[in-house]
Amino acid sequence: MSNASVFAALGDATRLKLVSRLQSGRHLSIAQLTRGLELTRQGVSKHLHVLEQAGLVSSKRVGRETRFRLRPDRIVRARDYLTRAAAQWDEAVERLKAAVEG
């Protein structure tokens, strides 16, 4: 829920790949998402639940499979946090420069 947990969820190469795969906008099953990732289905499943816990994806049971889709609102939230962080740093540095010259 916090910004830190969202960044933590993105801080793993496998999970970044999963997010990347879900950028297609489609609902993908665990088996589909496992394809091409050199680890077990259960490993992928665990990663997906981490992403879901952080609010980055949502899941829906469809027949015998569980489909995951991206929920980009949290991604946008994290992006805005970084945008503000960089902007505040810029402003602070400008103020410091001015103070040194003055």
Partner DNA sequence: ACATCATGCAACCCTTTGGTTGCATGATTG
Partner DNA sequence: CAATCATGCAACCAAAGGGTTGCATGATGT
Residues that bind a copy of itself (CB under 8 A): 2-13, 15-16, 19-20, 22-26, 70, 72, 75-76, 78-79, 82-83, 85-86, 88-90, 92-93, 95-96
Q: Are strands 65-70 and 28-29 parallel, antiparallel or unpaired?
A: antiparallel
Residue 56, contacted partner among a copy of itself, DNA, none, CB below 5-8 A by kind: none
CB of 65 to a copy of itself, least distance (A): 19
- Residue from the set 6, 18, 22, 50 that interacts with DNA by CB under 7 A: 50
User: Are residues 86 and 49 in contact, defined by beta-carbon separation less than 8 angstroms?
Assistant: no
What is the separation of C-alpha 68 from the centre of its chain, rounded to a whole number of angstroms?
A: 14
- Residue from the set 40, 58, 83, 88 that interacts with DNA by CB under 7 A: 40
Q: Which residues of 19-56 are buried (b: 16+ CB within 10 A; e: fewer)?
A: bebbeeeebbbbeebbeeeeeeeeebbebbebbeebbb
Residue 76, contacted partner among DNA, a copy of itself, none, CB below 5-8 A by kind: a copy of itself
